[in-house]
Structure 1
Amino acid sequence: MKMSLDIAWKSLNKAKEELCGDTVEIIKTEDSDILVLSDGMGSGVKANILSTLTTKIMGTMLKNGATIEECVTTVARTLPVCQKRQVAYSTFSILQIYKNGEACLLEYDNPGGILIRDGHQKNVPFAVKEIEGKIIREYHFNVCYGDYYIMMSDGVVHAGVGTRSGFGWPRSEVARYIEEMCASDISSSRLMSMISSRCYELYDGKPGDDTTVITIKVTEPKTVNIFTGPPVDKKDDRRAAEEFMSESGTKIVCGGTSSNIIANYLHKPIRASLMYYDPDIPPTAEIEGMDLVTEGVLTLNRTVQMLAAYNLGKVDEAFFKQLYGMDGAARLCKILIEECTHLNLFVGRAINETYQAAALPFDLSIRQRLVEQLVNECRKMGKTVSIKYY
């Protein structure tokens, strides 16, 4: 058994604040994934500093094998003290899920996480321990394929306080709402968006507190392979195609020349489409054995833009309407967000002659720049990314 996690998260800033007082850190090790959520005291700049320090310190120490006692002690001794309240205060939740399904969760003053299995909430027992005067809840449990786990800051359970709902959104009601959403096989990103949107509605569009939700779906590893760009040396075309085809998982080709390389290797024709679902994105094509065949630069550029918007938390109904579109960029972006845990990129470094003829002022090809941005955005989402250049 080898678990992979589909992780999505979003923060809503407290109304009129430019910075969020909640911070999320995702750390990947060889045998586990670690998620740290911290909520700094107050809001704005000071809260952001407190929560950022907490997540960075704990994430770095845990990645290097430190115990939770060492992490909490270090944080307690490191955080700057608020001159007004004379305390250094930052709540936190730390969830570590190992590849074999074992999980450990530690919470300090954050709302309890919610585990959904087979569409129903599953209560997880916990032990209480005191470290440096802080009361910590410690959970140990196992996860299964299809499980959802939701972590949150107290902005979620406070959603609506002082507005039309008056008394906030109790954790029990949050759990019931999530159960309803998980009745179907919903993606982690879609679930995150729906919970966050519900909080925003309860706050009447003016969050009274920093509000963060992290959704985690336990899945089998889902590998996506993307081939784009011809190799510098044409003699490497066959080697690149062989290595691309040897990988298991979803197969995607981006670019006309790249499509010809794969089609020639497979001895299969390219069946082009003339259907424009978006006037700015060229039509897709088909090659037997490929899951998606798209144009290159324009499609990659739109994909990167959508991934960047997703990572910035600009996730609403309009975003998902675009994501579930039929054009090549939407289809590629949806696969990367909802159907990918591991991404393998096979990238040719040859510079397109069209760009050279136009004397564009780039020291690298446009495609290569886009690939680097794609890698960066996918790693922000917690995807495991590898890349081979030719």
Structure 2
Amino acid sequence: MENEKLFVELEASQWTKTGQAACGDDFRCVRIPNEKRTIAVLSDGLGSGIKANLMASMTSTMALEFVRSNMDILQSAETIMDSLPVCEIRKISYATFTVFDMQLGGKTRVIEMDNPPFIHLRNLIDLPKNNVKELVSERWPDRKMKITEVTMAPGDRLIAFSDGVTQAGLGCPGWKFGWRREGALNFIKRVVEKNPEISARDLATMIAAEAMAVHPERKCKDDITCMVLYLRHPRVLRVITGPPFRKETDREYANMAVFPEGKVVLCGGTTANIVSRELRTRVDIDLKMVSRSGNLPPPGFMRGVGLVTEGILTLTQVAADLESGNWQNSAAAAKEIVNLMMDSDIVEFIVGTKINEAHQDPMLPVDLEMRRNVIKRLKAVLENNYRKNVSIRYF
């Protein structure tokens, strides 16, 4: 496998139990670039609400660090179980977990304790688990762990969920024994068959939403969490903004907007004019977008290139939307860019470094002072909050 050309998309979706203020499940992940390694943990704390959230958070945090440090799995699990607070009502301390530990070449270790068995989906087939080892703690004999070794191929997905998914609808008409793993698997197969390239984010969201929809009143009787790992070729978005420092490089600059390997966004009127002139194409505005443009100029489209928007104002709004995590009601131009970013694994910023005098007015907000500051802000939020690979090239 040419691992350098592949990308590991890792996302999760959650619903909190109806009537509770905090989710009793927890999801955490980390990428370790120098080891070409990705680790994710899903934990389900005993019960629901704040206490369950505390146990799940402690478990996922410790499990992530222990696996990252290559500690002995059994010793790590015992340390976790010894550390959890005891429930005053049930008089036990308990949290389940599933760990995905994927390394260079697709070699993946899945560590499970009491969560529903994970799914390894390839070509709509849930692959059998052949290389499985079971561990039992002498101090905690009722806690059994399974360690499964699998090798991921391009297009494979690993899917894990809490019992809020498998027990969804339990006792309701048509779901006497709940949705179960079989029901979730059949749903996943239908979704992937309809859309073979569905992202991990969208698939996790659909699984969690369907688990809640199983209940006749659309109520969460338990916390619901689904995490999906998807190994595939990366989806690349190139964002070009600002004129280049030297005018004689306009042609070279414009040619970077021709990018068949991914999608392109042009941010800024001057940027769009340069590309339009050099490539001899034009920007078309969809008049239907005007009514949804909000406080920003409406987006346009350049044939052979992609989306075209206003520059600094739009990028500043995109940064704010990403930081808040809420862009559903944002202006059309910003929303379009955010959606493209969410559907991409790698975001490349090509930033022209010629100063635009219009943005140096000291009366304007600080966000408008320099284009580069907004790009750095976008890079930080995309990497830290959304697990995107981001690069910046100044031109």
Return the TM-score normalized by structure 2. 0.81
Partner of residue 222 from structure 1, selected from 228, 231, 235: 235
On the 8 A contact 1:23/1:39 being kept in 2, the answer is yes
Structure 2 residue identity aligned to 1:156: V
Report the number of matched residues: 375
- Which deviations, in whole Å up to 9, do the C-alpha atoms of 1:304-330 show, x marking residues without a partner? 566567x67x9xxxx6xx99x9x6545
What letter is aligned with 1:375?
A: K
Question: Over the residues paired in the alignment, what is the CA RMSD in angstroms?
Answer: 3.5
| 8 Å Cα contact 2:254-2:275 kept in structure 1 | no
Residue of structure 2 in register with 1:282 after alignment: 298
CA contact (8 A) 2:367 2:374 kept: no
68-77 or 110-119, which moves further after superposition? 68-77
Amino acid at match of 1:176: N
Greater alpha carbon shift after TM alignment, 247-256 vs 53-62 = 247-256
Alignment-mate amino acid for residue 271 of structure 2: S
- Aligned counterpart, 2:179: 169
Secondary structure of 2:109's counterpart equals strand
Judged with a 3 Å threshold, the aligned counterparts in structure 2 of structure 1 residues 347 and 123 are, in CA distance, closer, same or farther, namely same
CA distance in 1, matches of 2:77, 2:55: 14
Which of 354, 359, 364 is the aligned partner of 1:360?
364
- TM-superposition CA deviations, 1:330-360 (whole Å, max 9, x none): 543343223x222232345777544544813
Residue 129 of structure 1 is matched in structure 2 by 135
Q: 1:59 to 1:235 in 2, by over 3 A?
A: farther
- Identify unmatched segments of 5+ residues in structure 1: none
Call closer, same or farther: CA 1:223–1:275 in 2, change over 3 Å: closer
Alignment of 1:285-364 (within 5 A): 285-286=301-302, 288=304, 290-297=305-312, 299-300=314-315, 303-304=318-319, 307=322, 328-338=333-343, 340-347=344-351, 353-357=357-361, 359-362=363-366
Cα pair distance change 1:163/1:350, threshold 3 Å: farther
Q: Distance in 2 between matches of 1:363 and 1:305?
A: 10
Distance 1:140 1:13 in 2: 31
Letter in 2 for 1:18: A
1:196 aligns with 2:205: no
Residue pairs, 1:20-31, within 5 angstroms: 20-30=23-33, 31=36
Residues 109-258 of structure 1: matches in 2 within 5 Å?
109-125=114-130, 126-131=132-137, 133=140, 134-164=143-173, 165-184=175-194, 185=196, 186-203=198-215, 204-230=217-243, 241=253, 249-258=262-271
Between the two proteins, what is the percent identity of the paired residues? 27
2:282 maps to 271
Cα distance in 2, alignment partners of residues 36 and 179 from structure 1? 23
Amino acid in structure 2 at the alignment position of 1:183? E
Go from structure 1 to structure 2 and tell me whether the alpha carbon gap of 1:348 and 1:66 turns closer, same or farther (over 3 Å shift).
Answer: farther
Is 1:66 the equivalent of 2:80?
no
Q: Relative to 1, partners in 2 of residues 1:387 and 1:58: Cα closer, same or farther, differing over 3 Å?
A: farther
Flag the structure with more relative contact order, 1 or 2, with Cα contacts below 8 A and sequence separation at least 6.
Answer: 1
Q: AA paired with 1:128?
A: E
- Retained in 1: the 8 A contact 2:99–2:111? yes
The Cα of 1:12 is off from its aligned counterpart by: 0.3
Paired AA for residue 135 in structure 2: K
